Structure 1
Amino acid sequence: MRNRRKVVLITGVFPPGIGGMQNYYYNLSKFSKHDVTVVAPEYPGSAAFDEGQSFRIVRGSFLRDERTDVTSWLRLFKQVRRTMRGEDPDVTIYGYVLIGFIGLLLQVTTGRRYVISTHGMDMLMFRRFIGLNAIVKLILRKADGVLTNSHFTKKLVEEYGVDPRRIGIVNPGVERIYEKRPADMELIREHGLEGKYVILSVGRLVTRKGHDRVIASMPAVLQKIPNAVYVIVGDGPDRERLEQLTKAAGVADAVVFVGSVQGSERVNDYYNVSQQFIMVSRELEKGDAEGFGIVYLEAASAGVPVIAGRSGGASEAVLDGVTGLLVDPQSVDEIAAGIVRLANDAALRERLARAGYKRAKTEFQHDVLAEGFDRYIGRICALPALGAVRRRLSRESARENAR
């Protein structure tokens, strides 16, 4: 690769940890043609995982269970400095805006370029706190670049006053394992889905994902689709509340809580026993929002038509009327109408599924997205390093004042 750069990625989440951000950073590192070194926390099994990778991974004990505390910041700072001395990178990427403060410190003291990687929610969650929001603004404005996962997130970054020329967009990608396959009859029997019209959600059980709104829509859905069943794959702090909601709505028999499912292969099996996928995420007042929503593209990659909430970055993952349907995530009536519309229109389901499948398999494959990442890194490295510019201006100002 021409102009191959040395890149260090500092992240608090990485495989073998499980999650969307873990996969995002792993696949950028794996498919990038730059020389990437990752600084990541230790997990059970991380040594075995690291052995087979084509890029270097430096593990540290700076985070425990992906959580930070005062001492973890100091440990991470020491780890970053050691890595910088050994790698001497062209640019360092910080996978969480607040740990980017380390990048700011090193920029001021050594002139090193740093980039902040953002995912949407992290651009909203600090706005209620004046002090933290001021720190976030400083980190973003001083950064040489800000990498975002969607136009929605890019807009949030621009609201902090960041130069748009230094902002890049690299969407999350879809694992190739998600594919159209025959339905797993054993799975159907396990959950009593024989003869059912299966509506599926996959995701962590938290309020913003909108499981509660789908449950609230089920009485109206069952009036039109008596054999409908809502299958929820995932677990989280909202589970007990959601289970109570099914009872209060009188739909407990039509909602299946699967819990956590291990492995993409098994998740793909659930996609392939469903007739439609739904996740009506909404933005919450506390700054919780869906920055993109890769599950919509996973479902599309398995040939399943999707319904998403018209909120956050979901409208970029789902093109309304083209690869899926967008509904008001706060409107139970609109959610129910969307579900029923898909169920009653086989031609629409087929058209949306076909277009969604094609888009997922072409535009959102990891090798394609990594090319955009590589171009962005090359562009940032070609721009003047802000730290060096500031130090030069400071020296010139000092000389001018001395005259």
Structure 2
Amino acid sequence: MTKRRKIVLVTGVFPPGIGGMQNYYYNLALHSKHDMTVVAPEYPESDAFDNGLPFRISRGAFMRNESVDVTSWGRLLRQVRRTMKSEEPDVTIYGYVLIGFIGLLLRTLGGRRYVISTHGMDMLMFRRFVGLNAVVKLILRKADGVLTNSLFTKKLVEDYGVDPRRIGLVNPGVERVYEKQEPDAELIRRHGLEGKHVILSVGRLVTRKGHDRVIESMPAILREIPNAVYVIVGDGPDRERLGQLARAKGVADAVIFVGSVSGSEQVNDYYNLSHQFIMVSRELERGDAEGFGIVYLEAASAGVPVIAGRSGGASEAVLDGETGLLVDPASVADIAAGVVRLARDTALRERLVRAGYKRAKTEFQHEVLAEGFDRYIGRICSLPAPGMARRRLARESARENAR
């Protein structure tokens, strides 16, 4: 990195909140060599979490439960303006496309550089609404840069007419805690998994994750693997529906709902008691899709073979036939066939595990990904600033030359 830049990251989700986006932004801030200040919402445990962080963080009550309400925008705008006045950043990154409207406003009024960070679903969910879609297009096209988490998301951004030179790609990374270890005997006893072939999913219980399709495939799986059991870690709005589906399919005894698990160490324990990992995400008509899927690489990092749905950004997280298997997320037969194939083909399973582990431990470590992020920010800051930003820089240069 040739020059250290000052960055303000504005995000509506951040640890101690739990989730993939929270971890993504935390690790960018933690591992970047730029001078980073984070504007993030308050959580009950914020003070304890923030203690000792190697970057500055400005918490505010501009969002409640990580959701936007009518009054959020004014509070967030005031927080951002205060932070930018004190920090005077080279660029501000907005961690959600509609929050980026503040970036558009501040660039129009004051020539402030801004970058939008996108994750896939936010590029799809507004397309049905003409007015909102027009706002999203304006925010993206006027941005100095757009940071994407996958080639899938990058293509969606390009579809909005964004200059490809201003688009960057930084994948999510894998925490080092995900590693191969001996299965936890207590967890095996607790869930009655002795002698079972454990198929595992980890993720929020929402329709696009495909838990329902795996449950629907369980009768066919059990005919070929009688000791199979489907263990689901996570919670969400689909919990009751999935339980009803398991009962309707007659496989309730072979489906275990663990619920939410706190802490990466405990999630790693579940990876290590499984024989294969599956998440057959699919794209829904309402614009819901998997932008990438870091859980596949977490499982691979723990030495578990993986199956993903051939949809969204999952085909980048899992290389079909190299680091895992891709199946048709809408086909119960294809899902069952993939599970049975992994269970029976030892040579294939071991080859996928070796390649998946190596890829997770080399290409997807946070330090490696942060280097790409730092280069991208340096490049964006060196590009000619569009519109009023150019005029602001020209005025600053003229004042400097007049001294």
TM-score scaled by length of structure 1: 0.96
One-letter amino acid of the structure 2 residue matched with residue 68 of structure 1: V
Give 1:95 shift: 0.2
Equivalent residue for 1:76? 76
One-letter amino acid of the structure 2 residue matched with residue 210 of structure 1: G
One-letter amino acid of the structure 1 residue matched with residue 227 of structure 2: N
CA distance in 1, matches of 2:70, 2:240: 32
Alpha carbons 2:92, 2:114 under 8 Å: kept: yes
Equivalent residue for 1:399? none
**SS across alignment from 1:103:** helix
What is the 5 A alignment of 1:55-204? 55-204=55-204
**SS across alignment from 1:39:** strand
One-letter amino acid of the structure 1 residue matched with residue 80 of structure 2: V
One-letter amino acid of the structure 2 residue matched with residue 138 of structure 1: L
CA distance in 1, matches of 2:268, 2:243: 24
Matched, 1:17 2:17: yes
Give 1:284 shift: 0.1
Alpha carbons 1:112, 1:385 under 8 Å: kept: no
Equivalent residue for 2:257? 257
Equivalent residue for 1:398? none
Provide, for residues 87-106 of structure 1, a one-character-per-residue CA deviation record: whole Å limited to 9, x for no partner.
Answer: 00000000000010000011
Provide, for residues 321-352 of structure 1, a one-character-per-residue CA deviation record: whole Å limited to 9, x for no partner.
Answer: 00000000000000000000000011111110
One-letter amino acid of the structure 2 residue matched with residue 235 of structure 1: D
Provide, for residues 24-46 of structure 1, a one-character-per-residue CA deviation record: whole Å limited to 9, x for no partner.
Answer: 00000000000000000001111
CA distance in 1, matches of 2:337, 2:275: 16
Q: Which stretch of the first structure deviates more once superposed, 306-315 or 42-51? A: 42-51
Equivalent residue for 2:34? 34
Matched, 1:338 2:314: no
Alpha carbons 1:94, 1:100 under 8 Å: kept: yes
5+ residue gaps, structure 2 = 396-403
One-letter amino acid of the structure 1 residue matched with residue 70 of structure 2: V
Equivalent residue for 2:360? 360
5+ residue gaps, structure 1 = 396-403
**SS across alignment from 1:70:** coil
- Give aligned pairs, total: 393
**SS across alignment from 2:303:** coil
Equivalent residue for 1:328? 328
CA distance in 1, matches of 2:229, 2:336: 13
CA distance in 1, matches of 2:387, 2:258: 51
Alpha carbons 1:112, 1:387 under 8 Å: kept: no
Alpha carbons 2:210, 2:279 under 8 Å: kept: yes
Equivalent residue for 1:269? 269
Matched, 1:280 2:270: no
Alpha carbons 1:292, 1:317 under 8 Å: kept: yes
Give 1:388 shift: 3.3
Equivalent residue for 1:219? 219
CA distance in 1, matches of 2:386, 2:346: 55
One-letter amino acid of the structure 2 residue matched with residue 16 of structure 1: P
Provide, for residues 333-392 of structure 1, a one-character-per-residue CA deviation record: whole Å limited to 9, x for no partner.
Answer: 000000000000111111101100000000000000000000000000000111336758
How high is the sequence identity, in percent, across the aligned residues?
A: 83
CA distance in 1, matches of 2:58, 2:2: 26
**SS across alignment from 1:81:** helix
Alpha carbons 2:208, 2:288 under 8 Å: kept: yes
CA distance in 2, matches of 1:275, 1:319: 19
Alpha carbons 2:384, 2:390 under 8 Å: kept: no
CA distance in 2, matches of 1:42, 1:173: 24
CA distance in 2, matches of 1:69, 1:329: 34
TM-score scaled by length of structure 2: 0.96
What is the 5 A alignment of 1:234-253? 234-253=234-253
Equivalent residue for 1:52? 52
Equivalent residue for 2:400? none
Give 1:47 shift: 1.0
Q: CA RMSD in A?
A: 1.1
Give 1:268 shift: 0.3
CA distance in 2, matches of 1:98, 1:353: 39
CA distance in 1, matches of 2:391, 2:35: 28
What is the 5 A alignment of 1:297-308? 297-308=297-308
CA distance in 1, matches of 2:356, 2:249: 33
Give 1:2 shift: 2.9
